[in-house]
Structure 1
Amino acid sequence: MAKKRKTKRQTPSVPVSLLSFHFNYCQTFMMTRLLLLLLFYCCLLSFPFHHGPVIAEAFTGTYGINYGRIADNIPPPESVVTLLKAAKIKNVKIYDSDHSVLTAFKDSGLELTIAIPNENVKDISASETRAMDWLKENVQPFLPNTKIRGITVGNEILGGGDQGLSEALLGAIKNVYNSLKTLQLEDQILVTSPHSQAVFGNSYPPSSCTFSENVMVYMKPILEFFSSIGSPFYVNVYPFIAYKSDPEHIDVNYALFKSNPGIYDAKTNLHYDNMFEAQVDAAYAALEAAGYSDMEVVVSETGWASAGDASEAGASVENARTYNFNLKKRLFKRKGTPLRPKKVLKAYIFALFNENLKWGPLSEKHYGLFNADGSISYNIGFTGLRPSSAGSSFLSFKDIGAEGRSMAYVKTLVSCIALLSAVFLTT
């Protein structure tokens, strides 16, 4: 009987097209997972992360304005809000905590730094309760609709000759900060104190600058406290004042950001073509000499008078226009100084209006970018509340590229999504 031959069992063959489909599917699946992972990381990188304690910041961008009101003929706060929004000036600093201003700024989107005037510093330094009462009256009722981002305690106290005020300053600063902490506002509202050039013993060349000995006894503990809470060093910088004090030896072009030979600092091997940056770096040098090289310098005031007494060299409309126009261009480059190139320079311009009731030399009444009626004092690119003989606006903040930090994050995120979408479409 014939035996059946065993046939070898064969595995059914898989069509090549099916294998190709399976391979392509796996490849696409893995690529999709990879791209989604990349998108996730892009999203993470688009938003800031804080390491350690959160530090309040009072400044968005690089350009701000001082809104002084020692005048009886300037527009009401509601009109000022309209003016500032039209000019796209977001950072505003005032010299008190006037409730009419705080109310007018409600829901405006403008970011406000308010002040404890010098005459209130001793009272605030007396106890934390006094500071808490001040905050509950002048800050807490207006939050969050009014964006109060900073509090300056006093103005140009150190180096001013009032020993009692100098002794009270640190206590007032600490009481305000500790009270903010009790209210859980310390990560929203920055605390600092502006200083004049009088706190420095020498500022030329910039690298030689140090704090004067009579100031250092008060300055050192303040800097130590600011360092612990992450506050910047606020300093008022006025090339105009330096120039008018010695016009025979200071090149006005150096003070106005115009073409000039500049100065050379042999110690740092740095060249300065304008006095503004030299004065800021002098402050950085003083901080470094005091042991605070990481502290940021913010210019709390700078400006140029458009008129002055006969003895005030350089006070003119043309010089004021030149200084403020060139300063605005400089700030919107968003770069640092020769000594601190990675620390973007920020400044509050002095001032919003000419103030007819200010005391002192005639120049004190003529620092305003705007006249009392809301028209521009001279043309640096702003539009006033009414037409002016100074001419119309020709340079807007948008043209220069003023953008808040949040817009940069949005742009980064959109770029990531667009890039990944393009990759998806080509796979």
Structure 2
Amino acid sequence: MAVLVMDAFQGTYGINYGRIADNIPEPESVVTLLKAARIRNIRMYDADHGVLKAFKHSGIEIIIGLGNEFLKDISVSEDRAMDWVKQNVEPFLPETRIRGVAVGNEVLGGNNPELWEVLLPAVKNVHHALDQAHLASVVQVSSPHSAAVFATSFPPSAGAFKESVMPYMKPLLEFFSRIHSPFYINTYPFLAYINDPEHIDINYALFLKNPGIYDDKTNLHYDNMFEAQIDGSYAALEKAGFGKTEVIVSETGWASHGDPNEAGATVKNARTYNLNLRRKLAKKKGTPYRPKTPVKAYVFAIFNENLKPGPTSERNFGLFKADGSISYDIGFTGLKPSSASSLLLSLQKTGAQGWLNSLLIVYSTCTIAVLLLIL
């Protein structure tokens, strides 16, 4: 009999907490940052104990990660999975709200067939360990996928999994269906756009006004790529026999800087995408094909990560800079005040308020208003 599991994702807006960097704030400061932004859901890529301790009593719900490098070991026996759960999950509950374990990341469709073989056994062993520890109703097991698992996703109704991954995907989906886990997909309109900027309307990728696309099979119109990609996932799930499985976006985002060949990787476009995405998720509405299922997504990522390998864009997906200040304004407040605010605070602390008041007299009415607002 399947265990009814609490949803790992309460709400619709989450964020990925990547830490491949040597200059980002300490976890305790990240908690402050997330609380100020009213972000209640995060996804990690490991189960770092320092981070989990920092999030104690924060009320923030967390999906922790079991990295691909551990899959083979965990798949070998239930005892090894139990040891992992006893070390990385059990000691932190309930004070730290661990709500899910993501077993592996983008395994199927990747270039390591050995990991394809061990993914399902690892997933089953982690779930069994949670069940034995009486945590299976609190902690949900999942495994995020990349778009590489699809043979096609355009138009959305044509969405289908690659034949090469189906011998592994279908039994995985069967198990997740039994334990009521959703299908997690990392979906990036940014990546689609930079791979084909000549044929993809950037406005379609950025949620801006555009003609959109029409799906003849479903008679549905799409005015943004994000929802089209989600519905492509639903179509693939239906063809595989899992039409009732919910799709959740485990990663999406837009780079604010990139290499010369990474079209559209600008601060303006990153702000546009993430601001419009945030507004869309706040409406708690569904997609054209699944209008009654609110879209849920984890944005990538909290910080720019300076040690990530790969093209420049990989190090510039953060909504916040390494020092905790905002990368661009989508309504969040950073840990570090602006330079203007810092100057005014410094003047006040050093007793220069009188000098500051005299200076304000010389400025135009508009400038005075702006500075007073800062004060």
TM-score scaled to structure 2, two decimals?
A: 0.89
Q: Hey, what's the Cα distance between the residues in 1 that align with 2:107 and 2:339?
A: 39
Which residue does the alignment assign to 2:183? 233
Which residue does the alignment assign to 1:219? 169
| Residues 66-91 of structure 1, C-alpha deviations (whole Å, 9 max, x = no match) | 00000000000000000000100000
Which residue does the alignment assign to 1:133? 83
| Residues 153-190 of structure 1, C-alpha deviations (whole Å, 9 max, x = no match) | 00000000211100000000000001111111111000
Deviation, 1:55, is 2.2
Which residue does the alignment assign to 1:284? 234
Percent of aligned pairs sharing the same letter: 67
Question: Which has the larger Rg?
Answer: 1
1:96 equivalent in alignment to 2:40 = no
Matches within 5 A, 1:167-178: 167-178=117-128
| Residues 209-247 of structure 1, C-alpha deviations (whole Å, 9 max, x = no match) | 100000111000000000001000000010000000000
Which residue does the alignment assign to 1:357? 307
Which residue does the alignment assign to 1:258? 208
Which residue does the alignment assign to 2:221? 271
Q: Which segments of 5 or more consecutive residues in structure 2 lack a partner in the other structure?
A: 342-375
Q: Hey, what's the Cα distance between the residues in 2 that align with 1:128 and 1:352?
A: 34
Deviation, 1:53, is 4.7
Whether the 8 Å contact between 1:158 and 1:215 is mirrored in structure 2 is: yes
Q: CA RMSD in A?
A: 1.2
Deviation, 1:92, is 0.7
Q: Hey, what's the Cα distance between the residues in 2 that align with 1:380 and 1:364?
A: 20
Q: Hey, what's the Cα distance between the residues in 1 that align with 2:266 and 2:216?
A: 34
Which residue does the alignment assign to 2:196? 246
| Residues 330-349 of structure 1, C-alpha deviations (whole Å, 9 max, x = no match) | 00110110001111110000
1:187 alignment partner, SS class? coil
> Which amino acid letter does the alignment assign opposite residue 256 of structure 1?
L
1:201 equivalent in alignment to 2:151 = yes
Q: Which segments of 5 or more consecutive residues in structure 1 lack a partner in the other structure?
A: 1-51, 392-427
Whether the 8 Å contact between 1:257 and 1:273 is mirrored in structure 2 is: yes
1:183 equivalent in alignment to 2:133 = yes
| Residues 392-417 of structure 1, C-alpha deviations (whole Å, 9 max, x = no match) | xxxxxxxxxxxxxxxxxxxxxxxxxx
2:208 alignment partner, SS class? coil
Q: Hey, what's the Cα distance between the residues in 2 that align with 1:105 and 1:340?
A: 34
> Which amino acid letter does the alignment assign opposite residue 302 of structure 1?
T
Whether the 8 Å contact between 1:379 and 1:390 is mirrored in structure 2 is: no
Deviation, 1:56, is 2.3
Question: Which residue among 146, 155, 158 is the counterpart of 2:108?
Answer: 158
> Which amino acid letter does the alignment assign opposite residue 353 of structure 1?
F
Q: Hey, what's the Cα distance between the residues in 2 that align with 1:319 and 1:97?
A: 32
Which residue does the alignment assign to 1:73? 23
Deviation, 1:373, is 0.2
| Residues 23-78 of structure 1, C-alpha deviations (whole Å, 9 max, x = no match) | xxxxxxxxxxxxxxxxxxxxxxxxxxxxx852221111100000000000000000
> Which amino acid letter does the alignment assign opposite residue 30 of structure 2?
V
> Which amino acid letter does the alignment assign opposite residue 239 of structure 2?
A
Q: Hey, what's the Cα distance between the residues in 1 that align with 2:94 and 2:224?
A: 40
Which residue does the alignment assign to 2:72? 122
2:165 alignment partner, SS class? helix
Whether the 8 Å contact between 1:111 and 1:148 is mirrored in structure 2 is: yes
1:368 equivalent in alignment to 2:342 = no
Which residue does the alignment assign to 2:12? 62
1:214 alignment partner, SS class? coil
Q: Hey, what's the Cα distance between the residues in 2 that align with 1:176 and 1:140?
A: 12
> Which amino acid letter does the alignment assign opposite residue 119 of structure 2?
L
